[in-house]
Structure 1
Amino acid sequence: MFNRTLLPQSVAREIQGMIQDGTLKPGEKIPSQREFAQKFGVSRASLREALLTLETLGLIKTEAGRGTFVTAGGTKSEGDMAPWRYSETHSVFDVFQTRLILEGEITALACGRLAATQFEAMEDATNRMEKCWADQDLIANVEADLEFHGTIVAACSNSMLRDLYKTVRDQITETQRQPIPITDPERMRESIGEHRKIMAALRDNDADRARKEMQAHVRNTARCAGLQA
């Protein structure tokens, strides 16, 4: 029995581990939500959130009328992205376009405000992102990506922009997860390189360059998802 206080992300990590170690095999139908919720000692709402995360990352796939299955190979299913889960409120294009504007300005306004410890945190997050991709720990890969971006947001001088970022964080998180199933190793190497270009601009206190590097990074992520933001 797992700790009843586990958050959906922790449950998602446990299920990812079961897929990676072969407890849940490629093509296997996963247990019912009721059974899984009882196994992990969480609510069905928390379990559903965990399953949505895993489906966005391409580790499982739900088939109407049949159930939810581990994808072929037990790893990300290349060439197939999950449906955009926020379609009833905002399109994925709108979210990427908002990221382009919001994160570009946030990054420019973080110039000159990042402490040495924050640069170290960003470097560490980027290194973990790279290692986790190599290990196919997709959940930790995205978490490290979010930490990188979150560190920049925390240093932004405009409190309203920081608050605006928080209000759309769930949608932003989804844009960072959704392209994973169609992200090839070369694109991930480019993304990690883009992180380092952003850090270099911030270290040089070059606000205009930092803005442009972040916007290029967001645009390239959007292109990976098949969009022109």
Structure 2
Amino acid sequence: MLNKTLVPQSVAREIQSMIQNGSLKLGEKIPSQREFSQKFGISRASLREALLTLETLGLLKTEAGRGTFVSGGPSSASNHMAPWRYSDSYSVFDVFQTRIMLEGQIASLSAGRLTAIQLDQMERLTRQMEECWAKQDLLANVEADLEFHAIVASACSNVMLRALYQNVREQLTETQRQPIPITDPSRMNASIAEHRRIIVALRANDPAVARLEMETHIRNTARCAGLDP
């Protein structure tokens, strides 16, 4: 049985496939949550999580009083970022600012601690990001990005920082999805190149460069979202 984290991911992937194969067409209103949850055999809470993920990626758009519609994805010039999900608690600016400080320090403390297997996996994930972006598999692109950053965090020598990363991971990872609808190919290519520079610094066991490359990467992602933390 799929756990409560994998269920929304699995359903989001199915809905993305329906959009890609034309079962759900651009501009079409998707079925009601009741109908969709029955179709997939999941709870409405899991369905809502899947729909929110797809909306953040720009594949769906909710219009007040009308429903949820298939959007254009990042290739559509009219697309814009979805509303920030955590606005009741933190601004997206604050989360990006926290990411720069937290993940920069984590990268510094992870240098020299990642195994060859982990570093090779980060290389594979970076290639996966590149390949999935090329075929507009946005879910797989972002999932590879999330796993890349999680591997770095898992090697941090400071147990408290690792725990802090896990405690705020939902908010941190949302900033990795949030800019996708307005990300053009040149920015994605740059992001992938930044990942590779992070790997080089970590392989070289260079804490200062690892920190700098991670901070630069997150700051550039924030700028893509129209922010300058």
Query: Normalised by the size of structure 1, how large is the TM-score?
Result: 0.96
Identity %: 70
Measured against aligned partners, the alpha-carbon deviations of 1:110-164 in whole angstroms (never above 9, x if no partner) come to 0111110001110010000000000100001000001111111111101100000
Contact between 1:4 and 1:42, CA under 8 Å: does it hold in 2?
Answer: no
CA 32–136 in structure 1, closer or farther in 2 if over 3 Å, else same: same
- SS of the residue corresponding to residue 114 of structure 1 reads coil
Q: Report how far residue 4 of structure 1 moved.
A: 9.8
Q: Kindly report which structure 2 residues correspond to 1:68-147, keeping only aligned pairs within 5 A, or say none.
A: 68-72=68-72, 77-78=76-77, 79-147=79-147
> 1:100 touches 1:218 (CA, 8 Å); kept in 2?
yes
Give the TM-score, by structure 2 length. Answer: 0.96
Q: Where does 1:1-229 land on structure 2 (aligned, <5 Å)?
A: 7-72=7-72, 77-78=76-77, 79-229=79-229
CA shift, 1:173, in A, is: 1.2
Report the alpha carbon displacement of residue 203 of structure 1 after superposing the two structures with TM. 1.0
Runs of 4+ in 1 over 3 A off after TM superposition: 3-6, 74-79
- For residues 10 and 166 of structure 1, what CA distance do their matches in structure 2 show? 22
Q: Is the contact made by 2:75 and 2:184 (CA closer than 8 Å) also made in structure 1?
A: no
- Report the RMSD for the aligned CA atoms in angstroms: 1.6
Distance 1:75 1:224, change over 3 A: closer
Unmatched tracts of structure 1, length 5 or more: none
Q: Is the 8 A contact 2:128 2:144 kept in 1?
A: yes
Aligned counterparts of 2:139 and 2:21: Cα–Cα separation in 1: 15
**In 1: Cα distance, 2:174 partner to 2:9 partner:** 13
Q: Distance in 2 between matches of 1:69 and 1:148?
A: 31
Number of equivalent positions: 227
Q: Partners in 2 of 1:218 and 1:158 — Cα distance?
A: 21
Q: What stretches of structure 2 of length at least 5 have no aligned partner?
A: none
1:4-54: CA deviations, max 9, x gaps? 976111110100000000000111100000000000000001000000000
Q: Measure, in 2, the Cα distance between the counterparts of 1:132 and 1:82.
A: 21
- Return the offset for 1:76: 5.3
- The one-letter amino acid of 2:102's match is L
Question: Is the deviation greater in 218-227 or in 5-14?
Answer: 5-14
